[in-house]
Amino acid sequence: MLINERKDNLINELTSSDRWVKPACPFCGLPIARPTEQSLRRPLEMPVGSCNCGAVYAYDATGHNLGSAFSEALVFACNMDWDLAWNLLPGEDYCEDLLEKYDIQSHYIIPAGSYEGRRISGALYFIRMHNDIQEVVWPGVQEKLAKARSKTVSQPAAVRQNKGLRLNKQEIAALVENYQLEPLLETATHDNTIISCLQRMLYTGDELLRLKTADALGRVCAAIAKYNPALVSRLLQRLFTSITDAGYGTSNWGAIDAIGEVIANSPDEFSGYLPFLFKILEIDDSNFRPTALRALGVIARVRPDLITKTISYFVKFACLDDPQTRGNAVWLIKHLATPNSRPGSTETRAALKAIRGDQRLINIYEKGVFEQSSIGQLATQALARLE
């Protein structure tokens, strides 16, 4: 009898409101379901969910990436419409709230912050669109969630390491400099720590080495994405953050080129990040713009169908006087002008014809070397493909 009484007291203690709290929507108070991952690999790497009242939430396992959780919840609430998401205003277009100390394994809020020896620091970031926007996006959100697969509550499988060839930092640097990529790709199949080393190498002031590194990183990420795509998505998020946080600093050197190479080498998995490149393109900065055009050109070279902007959109950049901006814009237009693309508009063709006399040279990276071409030559090639 005494044992049963103690057992009941223990159960009551463990399930009392100060130890376990069933998660509920902060907007309507209804219970919510466990967050789920999307079945298709998209730039949403955090599990997401929705409430019947129209709120959407994203799960941050650490509680330290709330900025990313906010972004993912906001974009998912917009039915993956990135342009819509970044043009909305808090308070005016949507409400936001946060639930902390959430444990996805038990699906409870643990106010004490620990359970069974585990530290509980997860968070659910909530976004609820105002009614006029929600009416438009909600059906698509529900359709995506219906196809979602449940997030596993077990720890992710250990990355396959210590098997086969492993390389130290000096060996990786030498292989990149000599453009010997096969050993890097072999290592990437079982050792994903190579990503960190290559990312650090992006900060070199040597432009050719920087582009070789971005090239290698894109190929390595394609190999790693086959068994750990989340790791590659986190890399992309870090690269974008390095651009937005560093502003005009040098710590973003190589980041934009690396983003282009990663998407180009795994377009089906990571093409959802393309809208971020378009945002960078609109930044009025001579450092960002030509590099963003080059990154888009790298992607267009393998998958021109992924570039949702029309050719005429890029003509305004080709008309700028800066040689790198103009040259990279024309190089991008050349790759967009496929045999299956629509003929260029009269204005597009006229702009390219006006550029044909530009004899300034630019460097075009190709498989570990720079090839020089005049802007006029590129314009002539683009015109030939358009006509």
- Residue ending a domain, choose from 95, 127, 150: 150
**Is 383 part of any domain?**
no
Q: Is residue 249 part of a domain?
A: yes
Range of the structural domain that residue 133 is part of: 7-150
- pLDDT of 117 above 80: no
Does the structure show a pLDDT above 70 at 145? yes
Predicted local confidence at residue 370, as pLDDT: 92
Tokens of 188: 């990437």
Cα 163–Cα 165–Cα 170 angle in degrees, nearest 5? 130
Tokens 């043009």 correspond to 87
**Residue where a domain stops, chosen among 118, 150, 182:** 150
Residues 139, 169 share a domain:
no
Q: Point out the least confidently predicted range of 68-77, 158-167, 377-386.
A: 158-167
Cα(first)–Cα(last) distance of the chain, in Å? 91
Answer yes or no: do 59 and 141 share one domain.
Answer: yes
Lowest mean pLDDT among 111-120, 160-169, 221-230: 160-169
56 and 179 fall within a common domain: no
**Does residue 320 belong to any structural domain of this protein?**
no
Residues 98 and 20 in one domain: yes
CB-neighbour burial class of residue 262 (10 A; exposed 0-12, middle 13-18, buried 19+) = buried
Token pair of 377, please?
A: 């030559």
116 domain-assigned: yes
**Given this model, what pLDDT does residue 53 score?**
83
Helix (H, G, I), strand (E, B) or coil at 316: helix
Res 339: pLDDT: 56
Hey, what amino acid is at 291?
T
Q: Examine the fold and report which residue of 250, 268, 286 is the final residue of a domain before the chain moves on.
A: 268
Question: Is 367 inside a domain boundary?
Answer: no
Is the domain of 31 the same as that of 116?
yes
**Residue in this structure with the two tokens 């597009």, named with its chain if needed:** 348
The per-residue pLDDT for 144 is 78
Q: Which two tokens stand for residue 319?
A: 């008309």
What are the tens digits of pLDDT across the range 5-15?
543 444 444 34
The string of pLDDT tens digits covering residues 330-385 is 999 999 886 555 555 778 888 899 999 989 999 999 999 999 999 999 999 998 88
Residues with Cβ within 8 Å of 83's Cβ and at least 6 positions away in sequence, in order, are 275
Give the residue-averaged pLDDT of 32-48.
71
- Do 206 and 73 fall within a single domain? no
- In this structure, what token pair is assigned to residue 45? 């790497």
Q: Is residue 372, in this structure, part of any structural domain at all? A: no
Question: What is the pLDDT confidence band of residue 327, given thresholds at 50, 70 and 90?
Answer: very high
Segment among 39-48, 294-303, 330-339 with least mean pLDDT: 39-48
Same domain, 141 and 247: no
Q: Are residues 80 and 24 in the same domain?
A: yes
pLDDT mean across residues, the chain? 82
Average pLDDT over residues 319-330: 93
Decide: helix, strand or coil at residue 374. Answer: strand
Tell me 21's DSSP state.
B
Alpha helix positions (H), 111-206: 131-146, 169-177, 182-188, 194-201
Q: What is the pLDDT of residue 91?
A: 87
Domain total in the chain: 2
* Helix, strand or coil, per DSSP, at residue 343: coil
Nearest-angstrom CA–CA distance, 257 and 243: 11
Q: Any idea which of 85-89, 292-296, 338-342 has the lowest mean pLDDT?
A: 338-342
Residue at 216: amino acid letter = A
**Which residue, 77, 91, 98, is CA-closest to 27?**
98
Q: Residues 185, 201: one domain?
A: yes
Mean pLDDT, residues 204-231: 91
pLDDT of residue 80: 85
CA angle 278, 282, 287 (to 5 degrees): 100
Segment 129-153 shows an average pLDDT of 74
Query: For the stretch 342-352, what's the b/e string if a residue is b when 16 or more beta carbons lie within 10 angstroms of its beta carbon?
Result: eebeeebbebb
Neighbours of 101 (CB within 10 A): 20
